[in-house]
């Protein structure tokens, strides 16, 4: 019996392409994390400190939100990979569908949910919208 040639399998080639990024590209998780860190820093700077990061709001589901304000039942998602040249989880049809399902399930479970792209985090619009949703004033 001969050894199978895995290089001819579509799954193997897909994985190889995914892992062969040029040095200036970062995985989506790192991009999103950078913007999550930026948003966390800005929220703290304006006095909003009562958030939880990487929060599972729906028992029995694997969905994780970037930020949560459990007492106010407010969830926040940062769509960090939207503006990347390569396709990310948020810009594919499957990714958009998954995000819609996640947000709908949260709404049906009594949560309010906000979503921001990296440019909305960078220009502080996310900070002001979150503050408004929490009924807080920031200067």
Which domain does 120 fall in, by range?
Answer: 26-133
Could you tell me which of 47, 49, 107 has the C-alpha nearest to residue 77? Answer: 107
Residue 99 has a pLDDT of 87
What CATH number is associated with residue 84? 3.40.960.10
Residue 79 has a pLDDT of 86
pLDDT of 67 > 70? The answer is yes
Number of domains within the chain: 1
Q: What angle do CA 42, 33, 125 make, to 5 degrees?
A: 35
- Find the mean pLDDT for residues 61-75: 96
Is residue 1 a part of any domain in this protein?
Answer: no
- Find the mean pLDDT for residues 75-96: 69
HSE-CB of 26 using CA atoms within 13 angstroms? 11
Is residue 43 a part of any domain in this protein?
Answer: yes
Is residue 20 a part of any domain in this protein?
Answer: no
Contact 32, 81 (CB under 8 A): yes
């Amino acid at each position: 019996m001969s050894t199978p040639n895995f290089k001819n399998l579509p799954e193997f080639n897909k994985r190889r392409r995914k892992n062969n990024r040029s040095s200036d590209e970062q995985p989506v998780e790192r991009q999103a994390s950078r913007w999550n860190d930026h948003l966390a820093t800005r929220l703290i700077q304006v006095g909003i400190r009562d958030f939880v990061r990487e929060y599972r709001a729906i028992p029995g589901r694997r969905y994780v939100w970037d930020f949560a304000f459990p007492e106010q039942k407010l969830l926040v998602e940062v769509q960090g990979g939207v503006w990347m040249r390569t396709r990310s989880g948020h810009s594919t049809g499957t990714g958009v569908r998954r995000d819609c399902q996640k947000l709908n399930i949260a709404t049906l479970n009594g949560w309010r949910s906000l979503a921001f792209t990296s440019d909305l985090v960078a220009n502080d619009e996310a900070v002001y919208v979150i503050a408004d949703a929490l009924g807080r004033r920031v200067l």
